[in-house]
C-alpha cells in the first residue's frame, strides 16, 4: 500500500504536465492535420487523434514515473528517481515516434513514407522539448528558492553580527592617554576636529550631544580603524555611516545630512567616491 501511494504521489506531481502536453498534441494534430486522415469522419477522427495523444501520455507516464519508480523499488533505494534530462527526452522521443508510426500505419491506415516519419518525429520532439523546458524552469525555480532561503539566512546572520558589533564599546584616548571616553559603537554619530581637540558627537536618549577630548583626528582615526562603519568624509570629519540620511550636492559642494543633527557635514572630493560606494 505504501509503495502504491508513492507511485500515486509521483504521478500526481506530473499529471497536469502530462495532460497539458497530450492535449496540446491532440489540438495540433486535429487542427493542422500533419497526417492524412481523410478516411475518417469527424467523430472517428476525434477518437483517432485522441489515441495519438493517449500514446504520448502513456509513454510519458511509463518513462518519467513508472519505470524510475520500479527501478528504485527493485534495486537501490538511493538511486535517483529520474533519468538524466537528455536521456529522458531521447527515450520519450524514440518510443513515442515508433509507437505513433505503428499507430498511424495499422490503425489510421496512413502510408508511412520518409516525409511522414519526419513529421512524426517533429511532433514527438515538440513533446520532448516541452518536458525539457519544464525541467529546466523547474530546476531554475528550485535554485532560486534555495538562493532566497540562503539569502535570508545570511541576512539574519549579518543582522545578528551587526547588532553584536554595534553594541560593542569603543574607547577614545587623549593624546597623552590621561583621559578616556567610552561609547557604544552604535551611539557615535560622527567625530570632527576642533582646533587642538576632537569633538565626538554621540547619541544620548533621543538627541545628540558633544564631548571634547584633547587629540588629533589622525590619532583618533587610528583608534577607530577596526570599526568599518566609520568613514572619513573630510579632512576634519569622520562619520558613522549608520547616521547618514542622505548625500546632497550643491553645485560643486557635497554635504551629508546626519540623522538628528541640524548642521550639514562637508564632503571633500578626495573622499567622495569612497563615500558613494559605501552608501
pLDDT of residue 82: 47
Rounded Cα distance between 56 and 3, Å, is 25
Rounded Cα distance between 192 and 232, Å, is 10
pLDDT of residue 227: 84
> Both ends of the chain: CA-CA distance in Å?
60
pLDDT of residue 177: 87
Residue environment code for 91-127, b if the CB has 16+ CB neighbours within 10 A, otherwise e: bbbebbbebbbebbeeebebeeeeebeeebbebbbeb
Asked if residues 245 and 264 have their Cβ atoms less than 8 Å apart, the reply is no
Provide the grid cell at 123: 511532433
Rounded Cα distance between 228 and 224, Å, is 8
Assign residue 195 a region (left: φ > 0; alpha: ψ between -120 and 50; beta: otherwise): left
The DSSP 8-state label assigned to residue 142 in this structure reads H
pLDDT of residue 52: 93
Q: Tell me the pLDDT tens digit for each residue of 98-112.
A: 999 999 999 988 888
pLDDT of residue 28: 92
**Structural domains of the chain, ranges and CATH numbers in brackets:** 2-159 (no CATH), 169-278 (2.40.50.1020)
Torsion angles phi and psi, residue 257, rounded to 5: -100, 120
Other CB atoms within 10 A of residue 138 CB: 11
Residue environment code for 34-68, b if the CB has 16+ CB neighbours within 10 A, otherwise e: ebebeeeeeeebeebbbebbebbbbbbbebbbeeb
Burial degree of 134 (CB within 10 A; 0-12, 13-18, 19+): middle
Q: Tell me the pLDDT tens digit for each residue of 108-142.
A: 888 889 999 999 999 999 988 998 888 889 889 99
pLDDT of residue 200: 94
pLDDT of residue 78: 44
Assign residue 71 a region (left: φ > 0; alpha: ψ between -120 and 50; beta: otherwise): alpha
pLDDT of residue 86: 66
The DSSP 8-state label assigned to residue 227 in this structure reads -
pLDDT lower than 70: segments of the chain: 1-7, 9-10, 72-86, 157-166
Asked if residues 189 and 258 have their Cβ atoms less than 8 Å apart, the reply is yes
Amino acid at each position: 500500500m505504501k509503495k502504491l501511494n508513492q507511485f500515486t504521489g509521483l504521478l500526481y506531481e506530473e499529471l497536469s504536465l502530462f495532460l497539458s502536453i497530450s492535449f496540446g498534441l491532440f489540438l495540433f494534430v486535429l487542427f493542422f492535420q500533419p497526417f492524412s486522415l481523410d478516411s475518417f469522419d469527424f467523430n472517428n477522427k476525434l477518437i483517432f487523434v485522441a489515441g495519438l495523444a493517449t500514446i504520448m501520455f502513456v509513454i510519458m507516464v511509463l518513462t518519467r514515473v513508472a519505470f524510475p519508480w520500479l527501478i528504485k523499488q527493485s534495486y537501490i533505494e538511493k538511486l535517483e528517481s529520474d533519468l538524466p534530462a537528455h536521456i529522458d527526452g531521447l527515450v520519450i522521443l524514440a518510443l513515442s515516434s515508433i509507437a505513433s508510426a505503428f499507430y498511424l500505419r495499422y490503425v489510421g491506415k496512413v502510408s508511412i513514407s520518409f516525409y511522414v516519419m519526419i513529421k512524426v518525429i517533429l511532433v514527438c520532439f515538440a513533446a520532448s522539448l516541452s518536458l525539457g523546458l519544464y525541467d529546466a524552469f523547474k530546476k531554475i525555480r528550485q535554485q532560486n528558492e534555495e538562493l532566497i532561503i540562503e539569502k535570508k539566512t545570511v541576512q539574519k546572520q549579518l543582522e545578528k553580527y551587526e547588532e553584536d558589533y554595534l553594541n560593542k564599546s569603543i574607547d577614545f584616548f587623549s593624546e597623552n592617554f590621561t583621559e578616556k571616553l567610552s561609547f557604544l559603537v552604535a551611539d557615535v554619530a560622527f567625530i570632527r576636529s576642533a582646533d587642538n581637540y576632537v569633538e565626538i558627537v554621540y547619541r544620548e536618549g533621543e538627541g545628540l550631544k558633544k564631548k571634547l577630548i584633547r587629540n588629533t583626528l589622525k590619532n583618533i582615526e587610528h583608534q577607530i580603524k577596526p570599526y568599518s562603519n566609520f568613514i572619513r568624509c573630510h579632512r576634519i570629519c569622520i562619520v558613522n555611516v549608520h547616521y547618514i540620511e542622505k548625500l546632497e550636492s550643491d553645485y560643486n559642494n557635497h554635504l551629508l545630512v546626519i540623522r538628528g543633527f541640524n548642521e550639514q557635514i562637508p564632503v571633500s572630493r578626495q573622499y567622495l567616491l569612497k563615500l558613494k560606494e559605501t552608501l
